[in-house]
Structure 1
Amino acid sequence: MIKINNQTIKPESLFKEITNPEQRTILKQMAANQVDYVYQNLSHLKFELLFRSNTMRAARELNKSGVKFTTFTYAFPNRKLWDRLSNGGFLLKNGVSPSVGIQDILKNGSLYAFECSTGIAIVLYLATLYSIGSARFNVLFDHLYLMDWQFDEDLQIYQKYGDDFIPGDVLHFNNPDFDPKQPHWRAENVVFFGNDSFYGHGVGIRNASTIIKFLNTKRKPNPQKSAYLMNLISRPYYQGFL
């Protein structure tokens, strides 16, 4: 349910204010879930809807960008803009605008390779840029660093267990019997689009059964457990930007 200023709100009552079809779909899903989504005012809700739609936009763009999938050992960035660190992370070079650096990944995707958790970080930084604008992004994320789940303190990510999946959420497929020779397939982090559609770097935009079938090809000999979609949700703390 959606609550604004302690009042339960029906999504249809907001349609005059919220005209974007994708954001209306998000509203309907939130209203249908048996969880309270609480906002101080309409502006807070509208910002979250914007951020969620921008997360999906960024995921679609990264999927089309030509970036490659690889492990931390072999990860590489465009070295004109980023320094590659010994752990496989990317650190923005001095003098490079953070907004230029993060968007270069879309512009020159063939010059980048990384694994799925860094892919999710890139999606969320792009969504942040689209939601708050380049001027504020450049102030908040000076010396931008991309590595696994290590986010800047100004992009707070929290996790919760539950099945109240909302488009724009980051979800996680677990592969408990992964092949030890391919530990990067122990899990797949994905952006949820709704309607059984997910984006994960390395697998593309697929439904759940397709992702599970793929992960099941990356298991150890004589596996006992199938890969599965976890009841674990990762979300930015949207109101931290307000």
Structure 2
Amino acid sequence: MIKINQQTIHANDLIDDLTTKDHKDIFSKMEKDTDIFQYQSLSQLKFELLFRTKTLKAARDLNNSQVQFTTFTYAFCNKKYWNRISNGGFLLKPNVRPSVAILDVLKNGKLYAFDCSTGIAIVLYLATLYTIGSRRFDLLFNGLYLMDWKFDNDLWLTQKYGYGFIPGDIVHFNNPDVDPKESHWRAENVIFMADDQYYGHGVGIKKADTIITFLNKKRKPNPRISAYLMNLITRPVLTNIYQQ
């Protein structure tokens, strides 16, 4: 359910704004969800719809780039814009515009390799850039650091349990019987794209069963438990990046 100032909003109320399939899919899922999505203004609701559509675009863009999948140990980046930290993270170099550096991941994908959680972070930072523009992005994210689940204070995350996935949500596959020699496949963090379509760095845009089949091939000998899609939903909190 979607409410603006305690008033329930339906698709007919936004007929001029729901102009793309992504917009319609997102709104429909939110409208049918048992949770109540509360907004103070129509502008705030439209901002979330925009951010979610840009998250889907960012996921497709990263999927179409030539970035590589690897573990923290072997992660690398374009040294022109980033310093690689010993833990495998990428720290923005001084006097480099954050917007230029994050877009370079797409532009020069062959110069980058990272794990799936860093891939999710990159998707969300790209979505933020696409949503608020380079000028404001550069002001908010000076000193950008790409590493696992470490996010800037202006882009933080919240979690809830359930299967009411909304396009643009981050969801998670678990692989409890992973082969210790391939422990980086213990989980796969993905963006929910649409009905049974998920983007994960290292697996691409695939159906849930396909991702589970892939992860099951990474289990230890004589496994007992199949990989599975968790009922955990992770969402960015947009309060600090929203501007009326």
Which residue number in structure 1 is paired with residue 238 of structure 2? 238
Quote the Cα distance in structure 1 between the aligned partners of 2:124 and 2:222: 37
Q: Distance in 1 between matches of 2:196 and 2:54?
A: 19
Match of 1:129 in 2: 129
Unaligned runs of 5+ in 1: none
Which runs of structure 1 show a deviation greater than 6 angstroms over 4 or more consecutive aligned residues?
A: none
Does the aligned pair in 2 maintain the 1:3–1:38 contact within 8 Å? yes
Tell me the TM-score normalised to structure 1 length. 0.98
- Alignment partner, residue 74 of structure 2: 74
Q: How many residues align?
A: 242
Residue in 2 that maps onto 1:34: 34
Q: How does 1:30-109 map to 2 (within 5 A)?
A: 30-109=30-109
Question: Can you list the C-alpha shifts for 1:75-94, whole angstroms capped at 9, x where unaligned?
Answer: 00011111111000001111
Tell me how far 1:19 sits from its aligned partner.
2.2
Deviation at 1:18, TM superposition (A): 3.1
Q: Deviations over 1:115-148 (max 9, x none)?
A: 0000000000000001111111101111110000
Which amino acid is the alignment partner of residue 46 of structure 1?
K
Shift of 1:239: 2.6
SS in 2 for 1:105: helix
Measured in 1, the distance between the counterparts of 2:24 and 2:203 equals 28
CA-based RMSD of the aligned residues comes to 0.9
What code does the residue aligned with 2:94 have? N
The alpha carbon displacement at 1:11 in A equals 1.6
The Cα shift of 1:211 comes to 0.1
Q: Which amino acid aligns with 1:168?
A: G
Residues 156-198 of structure 1 show CA distances to partners (whole Å, capped at 9, x for unaligned) of: 1111111110001011000011111111100000011111000
Letter of the 1:130 partner, please give it.
Y
User: Retained in 2: the 8 A contact 1:90–1:145?
Assistant: yes
In structure 1, the residue matched to 2:162 is 162
Distance 2:172 2:203 in 1: 13
TM-score by length of 2: 0.97
The code of the aligned residue for 2:213 comes to K
Deviation, structure 1 residue 240? 2.6
Q: Does the 8 Å contact 1:44/1:239 carry over to 2?
A: no
Q: Find the counterpart in structure 2 of residue 145 from structure 1.
A: 145
1:101 is paired with a residue whose SS is helix
Which ranges of structure 2 fall in alignment gaps of 5 or more residues? none
Q: Percent identity?
A: 64
Question: Any idea what SS the aligned residue of 1:181 has?
Answer: helix
- Which residue of structure 2 lines up, in the alignment, with residue 176 of structure 1? 176
Distance 1:182 1:200 in 2: 17
The yes-or-no answer on 1:226 pairing with 2:226 is yes
